[in-house]
Structures are given as C-alpha cells and as structure tokens.
Amino acid sequence: MKRFKLNMKLNLGRLSFVLVSVILVFSVFYTGSAYGSFRLDEERLLQIARRYFSTQLHLHSDDLVTVKLARDIKADKLKKISWVCVKEDHVLIAVSEIDKEVYGGWSVATGRSPGQKTKVGDMRTPEGIFHIKSIEDASNWGFYEDKATKQLIGYGPYFVRLETNRWKGIGIHGTDENHLHEIGTNASHGCIRMANDDLLEVVRMAKIGQKVVILPSL
C-alpha cells in the first residue's frame, strides 16, 4: 500500500512537471497572442481617405463628398482594393480608387528611422507604389530579434509580402503582445507592423497583385 501511494506521488509529480514544461514552452513560442484592434474610427478614416483622393488622385474638392465608407465588401470588389500606408500618420487604409470607397483603416508601426529606404538594415520603410507578392502563413515562424533592443518580436499569423523590386523581406505582418504598445509609432525594421486582429481583417481582403502605396505623408 505504501509503495502504491509512493508511486502515485511520483506519477503526479512527473505529470505536474510535464504540464509546467508544456506551459513554459507554449508561452515562449506562441506568437499569436497580440490580439486587439487599433481600427481607425470612421471620422478619422474618411478624413485620411479624402486627403489621399485629393492630394494623390487630384479629386476635386466638390467630389470628395462622394468618397464613402463601404459597409459590405463583395468578392468582385476585392481586386479593386488599393492599400495606402501613410508613414507620418502611422496608418494603413484600404480603398477603391475606382469606386471611391473606403473599406477599413488601422493604426500601424512603420520603420524606426524616418525617410526613404536607401540601404539594407537602415530601419526605414520604403516609399513608393508596390504590389502584394504573396500572402504567407507565418504562425510557425517564431520570433525575430530587434537589432536595437535585442528583444524578440513575433510575426503574428500572416506575412503579406510586397514586391518592391529592390528590397527583400518587406511586408505587412503582426506582432506579439509585448510589442502592441509600439503600434502607432516608428518601431519596425522597415515592414508595416500591426495588431494581429487587424492583420486578419487585412488578410481577408488581400489578394496577390493588389496595389500598395506607401507615402511619407499626405
């Protein structure tokens, strides 16, 4: 009987050790916990969209009232979406330049250093007109090291890779909960970084070939 009780204690001890180990491993490698939204409110979203249509597409001021927020996005409209990132405002918005519709907008983190990207590793987000090259599952990518702080940062569930011609590894991706506070600041290595909930919204609308415009300001 004593031996039976001793074996039970040993087995329970081993089970507890295994459970604790699993929890520790999960906490180290799980990168999908940065959920929460930094979605722009409607007023700010329309304000930024109208500034884009005015300054970049030269839409007449009288016609800016036609720029509207779309409540539902039909499948046939997805191919018309253009993504616009304004670095100064730290925002990413989804618009249709053809239909003058706005589909969503979110606060994001952009490159730690301001200005146009000129070399690899300069911590700048490239400016220009690009396109979505691929939409990749990043849920098992783990972490990358921040070159300045040496902290580990998660990629989130997806990596929307951009075709930038000159620069490799530039895209739109998520983060981890320890770096959510960096959304809305200059914090990335050059990518557009956002909260994972917001990234999932982007991925639902993203299609290969869509235009991505990255501007210093509006």
Q: Active-site residues: which are they?
A: 173, 191
- CA-nearest of 105, 108, 106 to 87 is 108
Q: How far is CA 112 from CA 135, 196, 208, in A?
A: 24, 20, 27
Q: Provide the CA 180 distance to its chain's centre, in angstroms.
A: 11
Question: With contact defined as beta carbons under 8 Å apart, do 210 and 132 qualify?
Answer: yes
158 three-class SS: strand
Rounded to an integer, what distance in angstroms lies between the CA atom of residue 99 and that of residue 78? Answer: 12
Rounded to an integer, what distance in angstroms lies between the CA atom of residue 192 and that of residue 196? Answer: 12
Question: With contact defined as beta carbons under 8 Å apart, do 179 and 34 qualify?
Answer: yes
Rounded to an integer, what distance in angstroms lies between the CA atom of residue 154 and that of residue 62? Answer: 44
